[in-house]
């Protein structure tokens, strides 16, 4: 089964990003496909490469990056939600006249069309967060 996943809450203010991560790991272990994860609303904050959690806590961004790399998951960050929260990739930073970018490896910024496409191309769509 192909499963699309949406994460819509921030990584350290809500359990959605962490629970979604463990759900995806379990689904992959059971032989399901997870071709894309879409980060929406505050969930885009998972994608910042500038978060530095304490060493004895989980690193949610790193966990997602490693999982995506290992399993070829397309991790898409909503462009509108990202811009509102100051999350930019190199192209967006340049386009917006900003002097830095902060998107982590393995994530890419795109629009809601990617969410719609994921919903069409998967058998199930699972959302974590409000």
Sorting pLDDT into bands at 50, 70 and 90, what band is 115?
very high
CATH code for the domain in which residue 49 is found: 3.40.1260.10
Mean pLDDT (the chain) is 96
Structure tokens at 118: 């994921």
Q: What is the pLDDT of residue 130?
A: 85
Q: Which residue among 37, 76, 78, 88 is the active-site one?
A: 78
Structure tokens at 1: 């089964």
Q: Which domain holds residue 95?
A: 3-128
Q: How many domains does the chain contain in total?
A: 1
Q: Enumerate residues 6+ apart whose C-beta is below 8 A from 34.
A: 2, 3, 4, 5, 24, 27, 28, 71, 73
Question: The pTM is what?
Answer: 0.96
pLDDT 10s digits, 78-95: 999 999 999 999 999 999
Can 130 be counted among the known catalytic residues? no
What integer is the mean pLDDT of 46-55?
94
């Amino acid at each position: 089964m192909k499963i699309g996943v949406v994460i819509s809450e921030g990584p350290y203010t809500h359990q959605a990003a962490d629970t979604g991560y463990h759900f995806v790991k379990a689904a992959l272990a059971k032989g399901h496909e997870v071709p894309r994860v879409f980060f929406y609303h505050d969930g885009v904050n998972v994608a910042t490469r500038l978060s530095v959690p304490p060493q004895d806590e989980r690193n949610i961004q790193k966990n997602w990056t490693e999982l995506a790399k290992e399993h070829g998951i397309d991790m898409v960050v909503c462009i509108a939600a990202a811009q509102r929260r100051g999350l930019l990739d190199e192209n967006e930073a340049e386009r917006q006249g900003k002097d830095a970018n902060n998107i982590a490896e393995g994530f890419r910024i795109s629009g809601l069309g990617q969410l719609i496409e994921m919903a069409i191309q998967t058998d199930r769509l699972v959302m974590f967060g409000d």
